[in-house]
Structure 1
Amino acid sequence: MKEFITYILQFGNLNQQQLELISNKATEVNLQKDAYFSEAGKIAQQVGFVLDGIVRVCYYNNKGEEITKYFIEENNLVVDLESFDNEIPSSAYVHAITDCKLLIFSKKDWNELLHTIIGWDAIVHKIISKALRQKVERRSPLVSEDATTRYLMFLEIYPNVVNRIPLSYIASYLGVTQSSLSRIRKNIS
Protein backbone atom coordinates (compact mmCIF):
# COMPACT_ATOMS: atom_id res chain seq x y z
CA MET A 1 0.00 0.00 0.00
CA LYS A 2 2.86 2.37 0.74
CA GLU A 3 3.88 2.24 -2.94
CA PHE A 4 0.43 3.49 -3.93
CA ILE A 5 0.45 6.23 -1.28
CA THR A 6 3.90 7.38 -2.43
CA TYR A 7 2.62 7.33 -6.03
CA ILE A 8 -0.52 9.41 -5.44
CA LEU A 9 1.28 11.95 -3.24
CA GLN A 10 3.38 12.93 -6.30
CA PHE A 11 0.19 14.42 -7.73
CA GLY A 12 -1.22 16.28 -4.74
CA ASN A 13 -1.41 16.51 -0.95
CA LEU A 14 -3.68 14.40 1.23
CA ASN A 15 -3.92 14.27 5.01
CA GLN A 16 -3.55 11.12 7.14
CA GLN A 17 -7.31 10.64 7.48
CA GLN A 18 -7.77 10.78 3.68
CA LEU A 19 -4.90 8.35 3.15
CA GLU A 20 -6.45 5.93 5.66
CA LEU A 21 -9.79 6.11 3.85
CA ILE A 22 -8.05 5.33 0.54
CA SER A 23 -6.14 2.45 2.17
CA ASN A 24 -9.37 1.02 3.58
CA LYS A 25 -10.97 0.94 0.11
CA ALA A 26 -8.10 -0.96 -1.53
CA THR A 27 -7.93 -4.74 -1.76
CA GLU A 28 -4.68 -6.53 -2.56
CA VAL A 29 -5.22 -9.18 -5.23
CA ASN A 30 -2.94 -11.70 -6.93
CA LEU A 31 -3.58 -12.04 -10.65
CA GLN A 32 -2.05 -15.19 -12.11
CA LYS A 33 -0.05 -15.08 -15.33
CA ASP A 34 -2.41 -15.23 -18.36
CA ALA A 35 -5.45 -14.10 -16.32
CA TYR A 36 -7.41 -11.01 -17.38
CA PHE A 37 -7.82 -7.86 -15.32
CA SER A 38 -10.55 -6.74 -17.72
CA GLU A 39 -11.91 -8.08 -21.00
CA ALA A 40 -13.17 -6.77 -24.32
CA GLY A 41 -16.95 -6.77 -24.52
CA LYS A 42 -17.36 -6.25 -20.76
CA ILE A 43 -17.70 -3.02 -18.80
CA ALA A 44 -14.62 -2.26 -16.68
CA GLN A 45 -15.61 -2.39 -12.99
CA GLN A 46 -12.34 -1.69 -11.20
CA VAL A 47 -9.22 0.41 -11.02
CA GLY A 48 -5.95 -1.34 -10.24
CA PHE A 49 -2.46 -0.32 -9.22
CA VAL A 50 0.36 -2.68 -10.19
CA LEU A 51 2.48 -3.50 -7.12
CA ASP A 52 4.38 -6.31 -8.82
CA GLY A 53 4.32 -7.75 -12.33
CA ILE A 54 3.43 -6.63 -15.84
CA VAL A 55 0.11 -6.45 -17.67
CA ARG A 56 -0.47 -5.60 -21.29
CA VAL A 57 -3.35 -3.96 -23.09
CA CYS A 58 -4.21 -5.79 -26.31
CA TYR A 59 -6.98 -6.21 -28.85
CA TYR A 60 -7.75 -8.29 -31.93
CA ASN A 61 -7.70 -6.58 -35.33
CA ASN A 62 -10.16 -7.33 -38.13
CA LYS A 63 -7.93 -10.22 -39.32
CA GLY A 64 -8.12 -11.84 -35.89
CA GLU A 65 -4.50 -11.00 -35.07
CA GLU A 66 -3.65 -10.09 -31.51
CA ILE A 67 -2.11 -6.60 -31.25
CA THR A 68 -0.35 -5.35 -28.11
CA LYS A 69 -1.04 -1.65 -27.54
CA TYR A 70 1.20 -1.14 -24.51
CA PHE A 71 2.58 -2.60 -21.30
CA ILE A 72 1.89 -1.49 -17.73
CA GLU A 73 4.53 -2.29 -15.14
CA GLU A 74 4.94 -1.71 -11.42
CA ASN A 75 3.81 1.55 -9.81
CA ASN A 76 1.24 2.43 -12.46
CA LEU A 77 -2.54 2.51 -12.50
CA VAL A 78 -4.38 0.08 -14.73
CA VAL A 79 -7.93 0.75 -15.89
CA ASP A 80 -9.84 0.82 -19.15
CA LEU A 81 -10.83 4.41 -18.51
CA GLU A 82 -13.31 4.87 -21.35
CA SER A 83 -15.21 1.73 -20.36
CA PHE A 84 -14.97 2.47 -16.61
CA ASP A 85 -16.09 6.12 -16.81
CA ASN A 86 -18.75 5.76 -19.51
CA GLU A 87 -20.01 2.30 -18.56
CA ILE A 88 -19.56 1.01 -22.09
CA PRO A 89 -18.13 -2.36 -23.14
CA SER A 90 -14.35 -2.33 -23.47
CA SER A 91 -12.66 -2.81 -26.83
CA ALA A 92 -9.45 -4.20 -25.31
CA TYR A 93 -8.17 -6.86 -22.95
CA VAL A 94 -5.93 -6.16 -19.96
CA HIS A 95 -3.90 -9.35 -19.66
CA ALA A 96 -1.39 -10.40 -16.97
CA ILE A 97 1.81 -11.51 -18.70
CA THR A 98 3.55 -12.30 -15.43
CA ASP A 99 2.13 -13.20 -12.06
CA CYS A 100 0.93 -9.86 -10.70
CA LYS A 101 0.11 -8.33 -7.36
CA LEU A 102 -2.40 -5.49 -7.64
CA LEU A 103 -4.26 -3.10 -5.39
CA ILE A 104 -7.86 -3.06 -6.57
CA PHE A 105 -10.57 -0.45 -6.07
CA SER A 106 -14.13 -1.35 -7.04
CA LYS A 107 -16.09 1.18 -9.07
CA LYS A 108 -18.31 1.86 -6.05
CA ASP A 109 -15.34 2.50 -3.75
CA TRP A 110 -13.48 4.58 -6.37
CA ASN A 111 -16.54 6.78 -6.86
CA GLU A 112 -16.97 7.08 -3.10
CA LEU A 113 -13.39 8.37 -2.86
CA LEU A 114 -14.14 10.88 -5.63
CA HIS A 115 -17.17 12.17 -3.72
CA THR A 116 -15.62 12.07 -0.23
CA ILE A 117 -12.05 13.32 -0.57
CA ILE A 118 -11.66 16.94 -1.57
CA GLY A 119 -8.96 17.15 -4.22
CA TRP A 120 -9.04 13.42 -5.10
CA ASP A 121 -10.56 14.19 -8.51
CA ALA A 122 -7.71 16.64 -9.23
CA ILE A 123 -5.13 14.02 -8.26
CA VAL A 124 -6.84 11.38 -10.43
CA HIS A 125 -6.99 13.86 -13.33
CA LYS A 126 -3.23 14.52 -13.05
CA ILE A 127 -2.49 10.78 -12.94
CA ILE A 128 -4.64 10.17 -16.03
CA SER A 129 -3.09 13.10 -17.89
CA LYS A 130 0.40 11.80 -17.15
CA ALA A 131 -0.56 8.29 -18.30
CA LEU A 132 -2.06 9.60 -21.56
CA ARG A 133 1.03 11.73 -22.24
CA GLN A 134 3.24 8.73 -21.58
CA LYS A 135 1.18 6.56 -23.90
CA VAL A 136 1.50 9.07 -26.74
CA GLU A 137 5.22 9.64 -26.10
CA ARG A 138 5.84 5.90 -26.13
CA ARG A 139 3.77 5.15 -29.24
CA SER A 140 4.29 8.14 -31.55
CA PRO A 141 8.03 7.81 -32.27
CA LEU A 142 7.61 4.13 -33.06
CA VAL A 143 5.23 4.73 -35.95
CA SER A 144 7.69 6.15 -38.50
CA GLU A 145 10.82 4.19 -37.60
CA ASP A 146 12.26 0.99 -39.04
CA ALA A 147 11.94 -2.20 -36.99
CA THR A 148 15.45 -2.08 -35.50
CA THR A 149 15.00 1.52 -34.35
CA ARG A 150 11.57 0.66 -32.90
CA TYR A 151 13.15 -2.17 -30.91
CA LEU A 152 15.95 0.04 -29.60
CA MET A 153 13.37 2.65 -28.59
CA PHE A 154 11.32 -0.08 -26.89
CA LEU A 155 14.40 -0.97 -24.80
CA GLU A 156 14.67 2.67 -23.70
CA ILE A 157 10.95 3.04 -22.96
CA TYR A 158 10.56 -0.28 -21.11
CA PRO A 159 14.02 -1.11 -19.69
CA ASN A 160 12.56 -3.30 -16.92
CA VAL A 161 10.20 -5.26 -19.15
CA VAL A 162 12.21 -6.82 -21.98
CA ASN A 163 13.62 -9.82 -20.09
CA ARG A 164 10.40 -10.54 -18.21
CA ILE A 165 7.91 -11.09 -21.01
CA PRO A 166 7.56 -13.33 -24.07
CA LEU A 167 9.12 -12.09 -27.31
CA SER A 168 5.80 -12.64 -29.09
CA TYR A 169 4.26 -9.74 -27.12
CA ILE A 170 7.17 -7.44 -27.89
CA ALA A 171 6.94 -8.37 -31.58
CA SER A 172 3.19 -7.66 -31.52
CA TYR A 173 3.81 -4.27 -29.87
CA LEU A 174 6.46 -3.38 -32.46
CA GLY A 175 4.37 -4.61 -35.38
CA VAL A 176 6.90 -7.22 -36.54
CA THR A 177 6.97 -11.00 -36.71
CA GLN A 178 8.68 -12.93 -33.97
CA SER A 179 11.32 -14.21 -36.42
CA SER A 180 12.08 -10.61 -37.51
CA LEU A 181 12.45 -9.60 -33.88
CA SER A 182 14.83 -12.53 -33.26
CA ARG A 183 16.98 -11.40 -36.22
CA ILE A 184 17.01 -7.80 -34.96
CA ARG A 185 18.02 -8.91 -31.46
CA LYS A 186 20.80 -11.09 -32.89
CA ASN A 187 22.11 -8.26 -35.09
CA ILE A 188 22.36 -5.71 -32.27
CA SER A 189 23.85 -7.95 -29.59
Structure 2
Amino acid sequence: MEEFITYILQFGDLNKQQIALILSSISEIEIHKDDYLVEAGKPFNEVVFIKEGVLRIYYYNRDGEEITKYFADENHLFKNPYANEPLTEYIQAITDCKLITIAPKDWQELSNTIISWDAILNKIFQKGLVEKMDRRSSLVSENATTRYLTFLEKFPNLVNRIPLSYIASYLGVTQQSLSRIRKNISE
Protein backbone atom coordinates (compact mmCIF):
# COMPACT_ATOMS: atom_id res chain seq x y z
CA MET A 1 0.00 0.00 0.00
CA GLU A 2 2.97 2.28 0.49
CA GLU A 3 3.52 2.30 -3.32
CA PHE A 4 0.22 4.12 -3.64
CA ILE A 5 1.12 6.69 -0.98
CA THR A 6 4.56 7.23 -2.53
CA TYR A 7 2.86 7.77 -5.88
CA ILE A 8 0.35 10.28 -4.45
CA LEU A 9 3.09 12.21 -2.61
CA GLN A 10 4.79 12.97 -5.94
CA PHE A 11 1.90 15.33 -6.66
CA GLY A 12 1.40 17.08 -3.32
CA ASP A 13 1.97 17.01 0.43
CA LEU A 14 -0.13 15.10 2.94
CA ASN A 15 0.12 14.88 6.70
CA LYS A 16 0.07 11.65 8.72
CA GLN A 17 -3.67 11.84 9.46
CA GLN A 18 -4.48 12.34 5.77
CA ILE A 19 -2.28 9.39 4.83
CA ALA A 20 -4.00 7.26 7.50
CA LEU A 21 -7.39 8.25 6.07
CA ILE A 22 -6.27 7.28 2.57
CA LEU A 23 -4.92 3.94 3.80
CA SER A 24 -8.22 3.22 5.55
CA SER A 25 -10.09 3.90 2.28
CA ILE A 26 -8.23 1.55 -0.02
CA SER A 27 -8.45 -2.16 -0.73
CA GLU A 28 -6.01 -4.47 -2.45
CA ILE A 29 -7.18 -7.05 -4.96
CA GLU A 30 -5.43 -9.53 -7.20
CA ILE A 31 -6.50 -10.58 -10.65
CA HIS A 32 -4.88 -13.32 -12.64
CA LYS A 33 -3.47 -13.21 -16.13
CA ASP A 34 -6.26 -13.15 -18.78
CA ASP A 35 -8.96 -12.32 -16.20
CA TYR A 36 -11.03 -9.17 -16.58
CA LEU A 37 -11.09 -6.27 -14.19
CA VAL A 38 -14.25 -5.18 -16.01
CA GLU A 39 -16.01 -6.10 -19.24
CA ALA A 40 -17.61 -3.79 -21.77
CA GLY A 41 -21.20 -2.94 -20.95
CA LYS A 42 -20.63 -3.17 -17.20
CA PRO A 43 -20.45 -0.19 -14.84
CA PHE A 44 -17.04 0.66 -13.47
CA ASN A 45 -16.79 3.40 -10.87
CA GLU A 46 -13.81 2.43 -8.74
CA VAL A 47 -10.47 4.18 -8.88
CA VAL A 48 -7.64 1.73 -9.57
CA PHE A 49 -3.91 1.99 -8.94
CA ILE A 50 -1.68 -0.68 -10.47
CA LYS A 51 0.71 -1.86 -7.81
CA GLU A 52 2.02 -4.78 -9.85
CA GLY A 53 1.29 -6.10 -13.33
CA VAL A 54 0.00 -4.97 -16.71
CA LEU A 55 -3.55 -4.32 -17.87
CA ARG A 56 -4.75 -3.68 -21.38
CA ILE A 57 -7.78 -1.73 -22.45
CA TYR A 58 -9.36 -2.96 -25.67
CA TYR A 59 -12.57 -2.99 -27.70
CA TYR A 60 -13.99 -4.67 -30.78
CA ASN A 61 -14.40 -2.68 -34.00
CA ARG A 62 -17.34 -3.00 -36.42
CA ASP A 63 -15.65 -5.96 -38.12
CA GLY A 64 -15.33 -7.82 -34.82
CA GLU A 65 -11.56 -7.29 -34.64
CA GLU A 66 -9.99 -6.78 -31.25
CA ILE A 67 -8.29 -3.38 -31.02
CA THR A 68 -5.92 -2.68 -28.14
CA LYS A 69 -6.37 0.92 -27.12
CA TYR A 70 -3.95 1.23 -24.24
CA PHE A 71 -1.61 -0.56 -21.84
CA ALA A 72 -1.30 0.37 -18.18
CA ASP A 73 1.44 -0.92 -15.93
CA GLU A 74 2.81 -0.27 -12.46
CA ASN A 75 2.28 3.14 -10.89
CA HIS A 76 -0.69 4.12 -13.01
CA LEU A 77 -3.91 5.43 -11.53
CA PHE A 78 -7.09 5.38 -13.57
CA LYS A 79 -10.86 5.57 -13.38
CA ASN A 80 -13.83 5.68 -15.69
CA PRO A 81 -14.18 9.33 -16.75
CA TYR A 82 -17.91 8.78 -17.26
CA ALA A 83 -19.05 7.88 -13.77
CA ASN A 84 -22.06 5.57 -13.53
CA GLU A 85 -21.96 4.79 -17.25
CA PRO A 86 -21.00 1.33 -18.50
CA LEU A 87 -17.59 0.97 -20.08
CA THR A 88 -17.33 0.58 -23.83
CA GLU A 89 -14.01 -1.26 -23.47
CA TYR A 90 -12.69 -4.34 -21.73
CA ILE A 91 -9.95 -4.09 -19.11
CA GLN A 92 -8.01 -7.33 -18.99
CA ALA A 93 -4.95 -8.48 -17.05
CA ILE A 94 -2.04 -9.35 -19.33
CA THR A 95 -0.05 -10.54 -16.32
CA ASP A 96 -1.03 -11.41 -12.78
CA CYS A 97 -1.88 -8.07 -11.18
CA LYS A 98 -2.04 -6.55 -7.72
CA LEU A 99 -4.34 -3.56 -7.73
CA ILE A 100 -5.32 -0.99 -5.17
CA THR A 101 -8.93 0.10 -5.47
CA ILE A 102 -10.96 2.88 -3.93
CA ALA A 103 -14.75 2.77 -3.94
CA PRO A 104 -16.59 5.88 -5.21
CA LYS A 105 -18.00 6.79 -1.77
CA ASP A 106 -14.51 6.57 -0.21
CA TRP A 107 -13.04 8.60 -3.07
CA GLN A 108 -15.66 11.28 -2.45
CA GLU A 109 -14.95 11.25 1.28
CA LEU A 110 -11.24 11.81 0.58
CA SER A 111 -12.17 14.71 -1.68
CA ASN A 112 -14.43 16.21 0.99
CA THR A 113 -11.94 15.72 3.84
CA ILE A 114 -8.48 16.42 2.40
CA ILE A 115 -8.26 20.04 1.29
CA SER A 116 -5.46 19.46 -1.25
CA TRP A 117 -6.94 16.19 -2.61
CA ASP A 118 -8.57 17.67 -5.71
CA ALA A 119 -5.41 19.61 -6.60
CA ILE A 120 -3.32 16.44 -6.25
CA LEU A 121 -5.76 14.50 -8.42
CA ASN A 122 -5.79 17.23 -11.02
CA LYS A 123 -2.01 16.93 -11.37
CA ILE A 124 -2.22 13.13 -11.58
CA PHE A 125 -4.93 13.11 -14.24
CA GLN A 126 -3.26 15.92 -16.23
CA LYS A 127 -0.03 13.89 -16.28
CA GLY A 128 -1.97 10.81 -17.38
CA LEU A 129 -3.73 12.71 -20.16
CA VAL A 130 -0.45 14.10 -21.50
CA GLU A 131 1.11 10.61 -21.44
CA LYS A 132 -1.89 9.10 -23.20
CA MET A 133 -1.93 11.78 -25.90
CA ASP A 134 1.83 11.49 -26.35
CA ARG A 135 1.68 7.70 -26.71
CA ARG A 136 -1.26 7.77 -29.13
CA SER A 137 -0.14 10.69 -31.35
CA SER A 138 2.68 8.73 -32.98
CA LEU A 139 0.24 5.97 -33.92
CA VAL A 140 -1.59 8.33 -36.23
CA SER A 141 1.27 9.96 -38.09
CA GLU A 142 4.08 7.39 -38.34
CA ASN A 143 4.76 4.36 -40.51
CA ALA A 144 4.60 0.91 -38.91
CA THR A 145 8.35 0.59 -38.24
CA THR A 146 8.53 4.01 -36.63
CA ARG A 147 5.41 3.24 -34.56
CA TYR A 148 7.09 0.07 -33.26
CA LEU A 149 10.33 1.92 -32.46
CA THR A 150 8.29 4.58 -30.65
CA PHE A 151 6.49 1.83 -28.75
CA LEU A 152 9.85 0.41 -27.65
CA GLU A 153 10.92 3.88 -26.53
CA LYS A 154 7.71 4.70 -24.64
CA PHE A 155 7.07 1.22 -23.19
CA PRO A 156 10.59 -0.16 -22.69
CA ASN A 157 9.62 -2.38 -19.76
CA LEU A 158 6.52 -3.80 -21.45
CA VAL A 159 7.75 -5.26 -24.72
CA ASN A 160 8.79 -8.56 -23.15
CA ARG A 161 5.70 -8.77 -20.94
CA ILE A 162 3.02 -8.38 -23.60
CA PRO A 163 2.09 -10.93 -26.29
CA LEU A 164 3.05 -9.77 -29.79
CA SER A 165 -0.57 -10.02 -30.91
CA TYR A 166 -1.54 -7.29 -28.42
CA ILE A 167 1.36 -5.07 -29.50
CA ALA A 168 0.40 -5.55 -33.15
CA SER A 169 -3.21 -4.63 -32.35
CA TYR A 170 -2.07 -1.53 -30.48
CA LEU A 171 0.14 -0.48 -33.40
CA GLY A 172 -2.57 -1.17 -35.97
CA VAL A 173 -0.62 -3.83 -37.87
CA THR A 174 -0.94 -7.56 -38.34
CA GLN A 175 1.13 -9.89 -36.21
CA GLN A 176 2.96 -11.03 -39.37
CA SER A 177 3.87 -7.42 -40.21
CA LEU A 178 5.12 -6.87 -36.69
CA SER A 179 7.27 -10.00 -36.91
CA ARG A 180 8.76 -8.70 -40.18
CA ILE A 181 9.44 -5.30 -38.63
CA ARG A 182 11.12 -6.90 -35.62
CA LYS A 183 13.23 -9.09 -37.89
CA ASN A 184 14.32 -6.11 -40.03
CA ILE A 185 15.25 -4.08 -36.96
CA SER A 186 17.38 -6.85 -35.49
CA GLU A 187 19.34 -7.44 -38.71
Aligned to 1:81, the other structure's residue is in SS state coil
Report the Cα offset of residue 79 of structure 1: 2.1
Whole-Å separation in 1 of the counterparts to 2:47 and 2:58: 17
Report the Cα offset of residue 81 of structure 1: 2.1
C-alpha deviations, 1:56-115, integer Å up to 9, x for none?
Answer: 111111111111111001011132222xx3x11111111111000111111121111111
Report the Cα offset of residue 43 of structure 1: 1.5
The 8 Å contact of residues 45 and 80 in structure 2, kept in 1 or not, is answered as no
Counterpart in the other structure of 2:64: 64
Q: Please, what TM-score do these two structures have when normalized by structure 2?
A: 0.96
Counterpart in the other structure of 2:20: 20
Whole-Å separation in 1 of the counterparts to 2:54 and 2:76: 10
Structure 1 vs Structure 2 CA RMSD: 1.0
Report the Cα offset of residue 36 of structure 1: 1.4
Counterpart in the other structure of 1:179: 176
The correspondence for 2:140, drawn from 136, 143, 155, is: 143
The letter for the 2-side match of 1:54 is: V
Whole-Å separation in 2 of the counterparts to 1:173 and 1:70: 7
Correspondences of 1:134-173 after superposition (within 5 Å)? 134-173=131-170
Q: Is 1:33 paired with 2:33?
A: yes
Moved more, 157-166 or 100-109: 100-109
Q: Is 1:130 paired with 2:132?
A: no
Q: Is 1:109 paired with 2:97?
A: no
Report the Cα offset of residue 44 of structure 1: 0.9
> How many residues are treated as equivalent by the alignment?
186
Structure 1: which 4+ aligned runs deviate by more than 4 Å? none
Q: Please, what TM-score do these two structures have when normalized by structure 1?
A: 0.95
Counterpart in the other structure of 2:87: 90
Q: Give unpaired runs (5+ residues) of structure 1.
A: none
Whole-Å separation in 1 of the counterparts to 2:121 and 2:165: 33
Whole-Å separation in 2 of the counterparts to 1:90 and 1:121: 24
C-alpha deviations, 1:24-78, integer Å up to 9, x for none?
Answer: 1111111111111222111212111111100011111111111111100101113
Counterpart in the other structure of 1:4: 4
Aligned to 1:164, the other structure's residue is in SS state coil
The letter for the 1-side match of 2:21 is: L
